[in-house]
Amino acid sequence: MRYIVLSQRGSEIVIEKQEIDYIERENRVTKFYLEGQMIEVAEKLADVQKYLDQDTFVRCHNSFIVNLEKIRSFGRSEFILKNGKSVPISRSRYGEVRESFVRWTEIQE
């Protein structure tokens, strides 16, 4: 499925998954950072993650999920996105994140 439906203050918002740069959970609010906009919803990050493609979206931190298609580079502690933003990678998730990125690049070839 290429779309995700989000509930926001009594209305439904439909977004294309490929538009998502990254998702952040902060102060009980989940923020979807898209190309040029941000959408806030109440769903928990774990619930949102169930609707995302595991080959393209990776949980890189307790509070962040990143779209691997939007990555320019990454190191041990952060991703740098094509738009210049940075997304943290927790030490405990680095191995899993690296494996996911390698697997994703192999799929792209």
What pLDDT does 9 receive? 83
Mean pLDDT, consecutive 10-residue stretches, the chain (109 aa), reads 87 94 97 94 93 94 97 94 96 94 87
What pLDDT does 109 receive? 73
What pLDDT does 8 receive? 85
- Give me the number of domains the chain comprises: 1
Residue 51 dihedral angles phi and psi, to the nearest 5°? -95, 5
Q: How far apart are CA 52 and CA 107, in angstroms?
A: 17
| CATH code of 22's domain | 2.40.50.1020
Domain containing 12: what range? 3-108
Q: How far apart are CA 109 and CA 61, in angstroms?
A: 27
What pLDDT does 4 receive? 92
Q: How far apart are the first and last CA of the chain?
A: 22
